[in-house]
Amino acid sequence: MHKILTFQLALNNIMQRRSISAFVLLTLLAGLIAGCSHYRLGEPGELPFKTVYVPPVKNSSFAPQVQAMLTQQIIAQLQEQQAIKIVSSPPSDVTLYVKVTNYDRDVASTQASDTFLAESFNLIMEAEVTLADNRTSKNLISNRSVSASQQAFITGGFQPSEYQAMPVLTEDVANKVTNMVTSVW
């Protein structure tokens, strides 16, 4: 009889622990669901424009053949946004002007055998962004700077290495321009 009583007490103790654990788990789960119930994917607000015209990027730097590549990447990234439409001619809500203002090459590392020979370079590109509202003739974004850098390892000469790194560098600039334009300010 004593063994049965001990067994029942042990069983009751286990059941109480499980019910407490279940209660704590359910409370945490309910708190998590309630805490995340207001979360929405995407931008929290609405952009003040629907259509964007992107003229060719201007280049006042020494960046080689960057205009077409950067223009194409900006347009491609803007087209991924659900809330806006890219138009191919000026009647649009806004016009996005981008000008590459600076392009530098800095030595990142040198060869161990000859410190005058570079082994890799940092490519740095800076651009200026203006978003003009064609309806009000005012700028929504005025001459705001963006910059990006990319390391180019010299394998087979500097020019081929720079040529290979340029799309990655311009992709980074295009991403920053797109984020600037599509963020609700």
Per-residue pLDDT of the chain (185 residues; tens, 9 = 90+): 555 556 565 556 666 666 666 666 667 766 667 765 555 555 457 888 999 999 999 999 988 889 999 999 999 999 998 889 999 988 899 999 999 999 998 866 666 666 556 677 888 999 999 999 999 999 999 999 999 999 887 777 767 777 788 999 999 999 999 999 998 65
Q: What is the pLDDT of residue 110?
A: 62
pLDDT number for residue 161 = 74
Neighbouring residues of 14: CB distance < 8 A, sequence distance ≥ 6: none
**Which residues make Cβ contacts (< 8 Å) with residue 101, sequence separation at least 6?**
60, 61, 126, 127, 128, 145
Q: Tokens at residue 88, please?
A: 């191919």
Find out whether 99 and 59 touch, Cβ atoms under 8 Å: yes
Q: Tell me the Cα Rg of the chain.
A: 29
The whole-model pTM stands at 0.71
The pLDDT assigned to 151 comes to: 84
User: Tokens representing 83?
Assistant: 């809330």
Name the token pair of 165: 């790194």
Q: Are 59 and 93 in contact (CB under 8 A)?
A: no
Spatial CB neighbours of 179, under 8 Å, sequence gap ≥ 6: none
pLDDT value at residue 81: 87
